Amino acid sequence: MAKKPTILFLAIIPPDYSPYLAASYGMERSFDLLPHKHSVLSLVAWLRDNGCEGQYVWIDAPDEKGFMVLDDAIAIAEPDAIGLSLVSEEMVSHYKLIRFLKKHYPKIQIIVGGPHVTALPEHTLLNFPDIDFVAIGEGERTLLEWIMRIAAGQRGFELGDINGLAFTHIDGKVIVTPPRESIKDINILPDPAFDLIHDSEAPPDKRSAYPLVCSYGCYFNCTFCSVEHGNYRCLTPVRVVDRMERAKRKFGVEYFAIRDSFWPPKRDWLDEFCDEVEKRNLKVKFHFQTRAGVLTKEQVVRLKKIGAQVIAIGVEAGDPEILKAIKKGITVDMARETVEMLNDAGIFSIAFFIFGNQFENNRTIQASIDLSHELNASIAFFHVLFPLPGAEAFGFLKDDEKLWWMGRGDGLPSICDLSTADLEKLATHAFIHYPLRWDWYKQHVLGGKLPAEFRNIARKIHAIHTRKSILGTLERYWPFNMMIRGTKSMLKR
């Protein structure tokens, strides 16, 4: 049988990677222990459904050991092409990998996709010359057409009639082909290729959280966000529950990380989802990020009953004018109402805030901190704004600041009156002190609403933040500062 057109996806995933809580709090279960790219699982599933093959390999770092793993994977998969799915902050580190590949496997074509290269296709090809092709936007159909023709031996400009692609012509100019038409009904997409991240030798791992994405695009326009605005499509509730049920049956997974930027899409969608989980008596657990003002009290109670463990919410700012400026489309009252419902129902709640959006100053940041205390979620995260390529906020940067993600210039630039260093200090201080308040301790550690597992997590959070706060205070005073630094460097060794 002829070999199927094959792509091998590569990624660098450090072993201790954990975006939310697990690594920092030594918890038993992370809320995203498997940080693998959903895009890869989704694209490979689509290729397989259409007569091609996809494989996936990840390494801890672009070093000797990592490169040996890649060599082995390439020898086994014998791919026609290599694919990478990248966000802005991964470009530089992953380019080391790409350079290694081009040096050792010059004939294998390399294609990259994802939000960063979608926003900056020309810049990518001109500044990262070992990349052969950029897939712009939704990748399923572009990749399928491309890999079939690559496997048939076509190269460069011969592929110029494939939509949604960019590549460098022989004269050095970048060619960008017409936009790829999007998939209207994403229910035609197959289940993610979970086998790529499933270790069949290991027993079902209760620490695993398999990723699910139920929607493409978004119908909001937040200025800090680089998703495709205005082209929202979602899976039906039945389709999502089908995916959960099949993953549970095939791989023994019971925990799902619903990774949509916001979920559920609508209230009646959620009712149907809950009906379906109940009807099938599906025993699953899951977490997700929602928008303020979407869930009702009854729905929160029902969600907890059918397995919701943690619900996060993007509050972003406490000052109503900032919320308007960033086009978040929520009000402070909506955030209040939602977090109150979560806390009342005994769901571990997470509130996200961003410091440093346009027009921010000390007063508006204090308003965010005050609001976080008033909301009193189980944990609050305070991030400093990253003006990401593809987001409206990226356009607020001066030209020489736009390459911050490459480590150029003075690092992360600020788009407000406060410097990035000040914003970072404020965010760290807010984060460390957040769970050191009596109101928080009363609600999340002593209060009887959270299940015991989460009260224990809250207790750990409190202990860790207390330690951090004491160390932080001592570090400001010599000779404690010298002692702490000495101990830290000894531990590192």
Q: How far is the CB of 135 from ligand B12 (least distance, A)?
A: 3
- Binding part of the chain for ligand SF4, among 100-108, 111-119, 147-155, 214-222 by CB under 6 A, reads 214-222
What is the Cα–Cα distance from 70 to 119, expressed in whole angstroms?
28
Instruction: Determine the Cα–Cα distance for residues 196 and 465; give it in Å rounded to an integer.
Output: 37
Nearer to ligand B12, 116 or 465 (CB): 116
In this structure, are residues 43 and 8 in contact, taking their beta carbons and an 8 Å threshold?
Answer: no
If one asks whether residue 220 binds ligand SF4 (CB under 6 A), the answer comes out as yes
Indicate the pairing of strand 165-168 with strand 109-113.
unpaired
Q: Report the residue from 27, 225, 341, 377 that binds ligand SF4 according to the rule CB under 6 A.
A: 225
- Residue 246 φ/ψ region, left for φ over 0, alpha for ψ in the -120 to 50 degree band, beta for the rest: alpha
Q: Are 131 and 81 contacting, i.e. CB atoms less than 8 angstroms apart?
A: no
Shortest Cβ 291–ligand SF4 spacing (Å): 6
* Closer Cβ to ligand B12, 111 or 345, answer by number: 111
For the bound state, the minimum distance from the C-beta of residue 81 to ligand B12, rounded and expressed in Å, comes to: 9
Applying CB under 6 A, the residues found at the interface with ligand B12 are 19, 32, 35, 37-39, 42-43, 83, 85, 87-90, 111-116, 119, 135, 138-140, 142-143, 213, 225-227, 259, 261, 388-391
User: If contact means CB under 5 to 8 A according to the sort of partner, which of ligand SF4, ligand B12, none does residue 83 touch?
Assistant: ligand B12
Q: Please report how close the Cβ of residue 447 comes to ligand SF4 at its closest, in angstroms.
A: 30
Q: State the sign of the Cα–Cα–Cα–Cα dihedral 128, 385, 39, 143.
A: negative
325 binds, among ligand B12, ligand SF4, none (CB under 5 to 8 A by kind): none
Contact between 132 and 109 (Cβ < 8 Å): yes
Whose Cβ is closer to ligand SF4: residue 95's or residue 269's? 269
Query: What's the one-letter identity of residue 471?
Result: L
Q: Which is nearer to ligand B12, 38 or 462 (CB)?
A: 38
Binding test (CB under 6 A) with ligand SF4, winner from 18, 177, 261, 428 = 261
Q: Is 211 strand, coil or helix? A: strand
What residues from 315 to 374 belong to the interface with ligand SF4 (CB under 6 A)? none
Smallest distance, Å, CB 139 to ligand B12? 3
User: How many chain residues bind ligand SF4 (CB under 6 A)?
Assistant: 9
Q: What is the residue-wise DSSP string for 299-358?
A: HHHHHHHHTEEEEEEEEE-SSHHHHHHTT----HHHHHHHHHHHHHHT-EEEEEEEE--T
Smallest distance, Å, CB 362 to ligand B12?
Answer: 24
Q: Which is closer to ligand B12, CB of 124 or CB of 142?
A: 142
222 binds, among ligand B12, ligand SF4, none (CB under 5 to 8 A by kind): ligand SF4
Distances, alpha carbon 153 to alpha carbons 183, 251, 278, in Å: 27, 37, 51
Of the candidate spans 129-137, 187-195, 223-231, 414-422, the one that interacts with ligand SF4 by CB under 6 A turns out to be 223-231
Among 188, 203, 307, which Cα is nearest to 258's? 307
CB of residue 254 vs ligand B12: minimum separation in angstroms?
20
Shortest distance, CB of residue 225 to ligand SF4, whole angstroms?
3
Interface residues for ligand SF4 in 229-248 (CB under 6 A)?
229
Least distance in angstroms from the C-beta of 386 to ligand SF4: 13
CA distance 324 to 327: 5
Among 199-207, 222-230, 251-259, 457-465, which window interacts with ligand SF4 (CB under 6 A)?
A: 222-230
Q: With contacts defined by CB under 6 A, name the span among 130-138, 203-211, 217-225, 268-276 that binds ligand SF4.
A: 217-225
Helix axes 64-77, 91-104, angle to 10 degrees: 60
Written as six digits, the tokens of 209 are 């959280």
- What is the closest distance, in whole angstroms, from the C-beta atom of residue 328 to ligand SF4 in the complex? 6
Residue 222 in the binding site for ligand SF4 (CB under 6 A): yes
Task: Name the segment binding ligand SF4 (CB under 6 A); options: 99-107, 114-122, 215-223, 401-409.
Answer: 215-223
Distances (CA, A) of 482 to 196, 428, 464, 468, 478: 47, 21, 21, 16, 6
Give the Å distances, CA to CA, from 314 to 37, 166, 352, 355, 377.
21, 34, 5, 12, 12
To 10 degrees, the CA torsion angle through 197, 203, 207, 208?
Answer: 20
Q: Give the distance from CA 143 to its chain's centroid.
A: 22
Q: In the bound complex, what is the minimum distance in angstroms from residue 83's beta carbon to ligand B12?
A: 3
Q: Which is nearer to ligand B12, 162 or 377 (CB)?
A: 162
Distance CA 270, CA 360 (A): 35
Question: Among 92, 237, 110, which Cα is nearest to 167's?
Answer: 110
Question: Least distance in Å: CB of 183 to ligand B12?
Answer: 8
| Closer CB to ligand SF4, 262 or 454, in the complex | 262
247 binds, among ligand SF4, ligand B12, none (CB under 5 to 8 A by kind): none
Cα distances from 56 to residues 47, 99, 243, 349, 481, in angstroms, run 13, 18, 21, 33, 45
Binding region for ligand SF4 (CB under 6 A)? 218, 220-222, 225, 227, 229, 261-262
